[in-house]
Amino acid sequence: MNQTMQEQPTAKDHDHPEYSPGLEGVIAGESAICQVDEGEAGLRYRGYAIGDLAGRSSFEEVAYLLLFGHLPGRMELEEFSHLLVRHRRLPEQTQHFVEGLRPGMHPMDVLRTGISLLGLSDPDAQDGSRDANLRKSVRLLAQIPQLIAASYQVMTDRQPATADSHGGFAENLLSLVAGPRDGEIGAAMAKSLNVSLILYAEHEFNASTFAARVTASTLTDLHGAITAAVATLKGPLHGGANEAVAAMLVEIGRPEHVEFWLRDRLAHKRRVMGFGHRVLRQGDARSAIIQRQAERLSDLCGDRNWYQIAATLDRLMLEEKGLRPNLDFYTAVAYLLMSIPRELSTPLFVCSRITGWCAHVIEQQEHNRLIRPRALYTGPAPKAYEPLERRT
Catalytic residue positions, numbered: 277, 328
CA atoms of 292 and 359, how far apart (whole Å): 29
Quick check: 82 and 135 in contact, CB under 8 A? no
Phi-psi region at 47: left, alpha or beta (left = phi > 0; alpha = psi -120 to 50) = left
| Cβ partners under 8 Å of residue 14, min gap 6 | none
CA atoms of 388 and 240, how far apart (whole Å): 50
Give the number of other Cβ atoms within 10 Å of residue 61's Cβ: 19
Residue 271 gets which letter from DSSP?
P
CA atoms of 91 and 93, how far apart (whole Å): 6
CA dihedral of 101, 102, 106, 112, whole degrees rounded to 10:
-10
Residue of 186, 185, 105, 188 whose CA lies nearest to 148: 105
Quick check: 296 and 238 in contact, CB under 8 A? no
CA atoms of 210 and 219, how far apart (whole Å): 15
**DSSP assignment string, 159-200:** PPP---SSS-HHHHHHHHHH----HHHHHHHHHHHHHHHHHH
Q: How many residues does the chain have?
A: 392
CA atoms of 124 and 339, how far apart (whole Å): 37
Quick check: 250 and 128 in contact, CB under 8 A? no
Cα–chain center distance at 313? 24
Burial class for 168, CB neighbours closer than 10 Å (0-12, 13-18, 19+): middle
Burial class for 334, CB neighbours closer than 10 Å (0-12, 13-18, 19+): buried
